[in-house]
Amino acid sequence: MCGRYASSRRAEDLVEEFDVDALRIAAELEPDYNVAPTKDVYAVVERPPSGEQVAERAGRAERQLRVARWGLVPSWAKDISIGNRMINARMETVAEKPAYKRAFAKRRCLLPADGYFEWYPTQQTTKAGKPLKQPFFIRPRNGGTLAMAGLYEIWRDPARPEDDPDRFVWSCTVITTDAEDELGHIHDRMPLMVEPDRWADWLDPTAAQDSLLDLLVPAAPGALEAYPVSREVSNVRNNGAHLIDPLPLEEVVE
């Protein structure tokens, strides 16, 4: 699974990197080195033109940078809390599961990340007798941005009045797959990546559904590096760039 990640890029940098047409955010997010479920994150989406845009854009979708809540809330959900357990969607079932299939068909996104965290169970145990886990940070070896494959939804809060601008909640999930061999010893799942030459096809809301899964690939062997980091990241209250610094060997739990 992918349960934590780091996202420190500025909005203006993501606009340039992802060739975004419009910045649709109320306020820029602060760099976050411990992104956890229910937090707000950046999402790159493409939205069909509406109203006057139809003629202006000649039918072309607009690529937008949005802010979304991590944890997908389906449009039919009665309560936003359902998103707390829907942070990941498995590639193997994403096109069929009721919670994801509508979003997979029309509302796909890219979730930019510096890298993500996974926890490896060590031979040491806690006082409760459970394996002590060592966190690892997994990132592109070249220092670039991970474009994680995701889905998004727009949920209407029935408790808010019609004229409340916050009645619509944007939310998202990360699509995962089996981890490639080099990373599989840390965790058996990993986020799916979308290569730059496939961004347009993945984001296209009119794309044929039967071709979508072919656009998703695990990172090429050797493209990612993993190294141990401080166990401070295990507490969601901790944040800061030091959380992704390599841990000195003498401090690594084995």
Q: Residues with catalytic annotation?
A: 2, 118
Closest by Cα among 172, 177, 187 to 216: 177
Closest by Cα among 8, 11, 12 to 32: 8
Q: What are the structure tokens assigned to 94, written together?
A: 């994403």
Distance CA 236, CA 240 (A): 11
Q: Give CA separation, 60 vs 13, 19, 63, 89, 116, in Å.
A: 23, 14, 9, 28, 33
Q: What are the structure tokens assigned to 181, written together?
A: 């061999």
Q: Please give the backbone phi and psi of residue 221, each rounded to the nearest 5 degrees, phi first.
A: -50, 130
Scored b (16 or more CB within 10 A) or e, 32-50 reads bbbbbbebbbbbbbbbeee
- DSSP state, residue 58: T
